[in-house]
């Protein structure tokens, strides 16, 4: 009897020790913020040993694989004028959107997604929009040669910092569905598909792409026009997009009403324009999109994008026009 009691006590003690260890592996918002800040500080100090990385740590910069100490670890100088942080305890992802000062003397408009495992950084997915980056190509107007970039405008018009009132919050599933309605709208070339507030704004690499004078002679029921100005539902901005593919929603910050959407804009077959890999932050209130902020780039035809599961390697590259 005493032996049985002794064994039961040992089992109970073992369970008491193991259970907290299991739960300690998860990071809450405070923990995720600590890991994100530690990682950013390590990058700025060019010191990979300044943050705990998993043995299989994986990092990309604009879909290109980098090892610790390479790439942004060498060029980062300081966090910029815009610094926004978002957290998703459900997926153990933390995110940064804003600007990053580099040794070039210019600020990059960046998105960073961190995956945390056992309170260590397992993944770092960087999107870096820099001054003078390649544009879409022939027929793309202002973006033919260079992509949009305006870190100063972004600094003057950053995403609002907001904690959504609990009474106004929608479910995680609805936040993703509302975000996905934007991508569905672009693929369908139909602004009415989008679940958004009239007047919604969008900034691409710091450049305002909405709130422009609406074209004349539009139909009375045209989507994307509010008080004579275009908004994020404007169908004119969808012309060069054939389909939105490789969609991912790795970070949903339910407190902020913010979703990180990732994917690739494909062009029509035979069109001599670069694809577009994007990170876009969607700000949702009262169940509709209010604002969209992006950091994106235009990869070469043979570049491997998005290069993250479940889309490892390259999204199908279309043959060049004849």
Select the more confidently predicted residue: 61 or 24.
61
Same fold, 29-129 and 162-314: yes
Look at residues 183, 188, 191 and name the one whose alpha carbon lies nearest to residue 265: 183
**Whole-number Å distance between alpha carbons of 202 and 158:** 11
CA angle centred on 242, ends 241 and 244, rounded to 5°: 80
Is the domain 29-129 a CATH 3.40.50.300 member? Answer: no
Q: Please say if the pLDDT value at position 254 is more than 50.
A: yes
Domain chopping of the chain, boundaries: 29-129, 162-314
Provide the 10 A C-beta neighbour count for residue 229. Answer: 15
Distances (CA, A) of 265 to 95, 149, 245, 308: 22, 18, 7, 16
133-142, 162-171, 281-290, range with the lowest pLDDT: 133-142
Strand, coil or helix: 172? helix
**pLDDT tier for residue 131 given thresholds of 50, 70 and 90:** very high
Task: Give the dihedral sign, CA 27/30/33/34.
Answer: negative
7-11, 102-106, 119-123, 138-142, range with the lowest pLDDT: 7-11
Tell me what pLDDT residue 139 has. Answer: 64
Tell me what pLDDT residue 10 has. Answer: 46
Tell me what pLDDT residue 136 has. Answer: 84
Q: What is the pLDDT of residues 92-124, one digit of tens each?
A: 999 999 999 999 999 999 999 999 999 999 999
**pLDDT tier for residue 25 given thresholds of 50, 70 and 90:** low
What six digits make up the tokens of 279? 């990170």
101-110, 130-139, 275-284, range with the lowest pLDDT: 130-139
Tell me what pLDDT residue 89 has. Answer: 98
Q: What pairs with residue 265 in β-bridges?
A: 244, 276
**Whole-number Å distance between alpha carbons of 316 and 229:** 36
Pick the CATH number of 162-314 from 3.30.1360.200, 3.40.50.300, 3.10.450.50, 1.20.120.450: 3.10.450.50
Radius of gyration of the CA atoms of the chain, in A? 22
Q: Please say if the pLDDT value at position 8 is more than 60.
A: no
109-113, 156-160, 186-190, 310-314, range with the lowest pLDDT: 310-314
Residues 29-35, mean pLDDT to the nearest whole number: 98
Alpha helices by DSSP H, listed for 51-132, are 72-75
**Whole-number Å distance between alpha carbons of 310 and 299:** 19
Tell me what pLDDT residue 232 has. Answer: 96
Q: What is the pLDDT of residues 78-88, one digit of tens each?
A: 999 999 999 99
Strands 120-129 and 53-61: parallel
Distances (CA, A) of 38 to 94, 114, 154, 225: 12, 12, 25, 43
**Whole-number Å distance between alpha carbons of 134 and 277:** 13
Residues 260-289, mean pLDDT to the nearest whole number: 93
Q: What is the pLDDT of residues 260-272, one digit of tens each?
A: 999 999 988 878 8
Tell me what pLDDT residue 17 has. Answer: 40
Q: Please say if the pLDDT value at position 302 is more than 90.
A: no
**pLDDT tier for residue 300 given thresholds of 50, 70 and 90:** confident
Select the more confidently predicted residue: 282 or 318.
282
Tell me what pLDDT residue 319 has. Answer: 57
**Whole-number Å distance between alpha carbons of 253 and 284:** 10
What six digits make up the tokens of 46? 């060019």
Q: 208: exposed, middle or buried (C-beta count within 10 Å: 0-12, 13-18, 19+)?
A: middle
């Amino acid at each position: 009897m005493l032996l049985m009691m002794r064994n039961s006590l040992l089992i109970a003690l073992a369970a008491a020790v193991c259970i907290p260890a299991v739960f300690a592996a998860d990071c809450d918002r405070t923990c995720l913020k600590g890991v994100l800040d530690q990682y950013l500080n390590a990058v700025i100090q060019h010191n990979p040993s300044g943050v705990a990385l998993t043995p299989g740590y994986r990092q990309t910069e604009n879909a290109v694989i980098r090892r610790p100490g390479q790439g942004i670890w060498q060029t980062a100088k300081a966090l910029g004028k815009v610094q926004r942080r978002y957290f998703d305890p459900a997926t153990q992802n933390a995110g940064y959107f804003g600007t990053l000062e580099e040794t070039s003397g210019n600020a990059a408009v960046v998105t960073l997604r961190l995956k945390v495992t056992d309170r260590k950084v397992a993944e770092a997915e960087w999107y870096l929009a820099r001054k003078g980056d390649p544009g879409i190509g022939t027929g793309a107007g202002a973006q033919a040669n260079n992509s949009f970039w305006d870190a100063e405008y972004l600094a003057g018009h950053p995403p609002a910092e907001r904690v959504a009132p609990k009474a106004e919050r929608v479910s995680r599933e609805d936040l993703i569905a509302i975000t996905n309605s934007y991508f569905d709208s672009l693929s369908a070339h139909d602004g009415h598909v989008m679940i958004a507030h009239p007047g919604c704004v969008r900034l691409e690499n710091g450049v305002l792409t909405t709130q422009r004078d609406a074209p004349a002679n539009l139909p009375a029921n045209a989507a994307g026009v509010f008080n004579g100005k275009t908004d994020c539902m404007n169908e004119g901005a969808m012309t060069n997009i054939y389909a939105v593919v490789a969609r991912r929603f790795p970070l949903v910050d339910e407190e902020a009403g913010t979703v990180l959407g990732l994917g690739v804009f494909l062009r029509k077959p035979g069109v001599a324009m670069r694809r577009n890999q994007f990170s876009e932050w969607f700000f949702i209130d009262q169940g509709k999109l209010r604002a969209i902020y992006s950091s994106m780039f235009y990869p070469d035809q043979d570049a491997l994008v998005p290069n993250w599961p479940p889309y490892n390697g390259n999204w199908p590259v279309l043959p060049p026009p004849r």
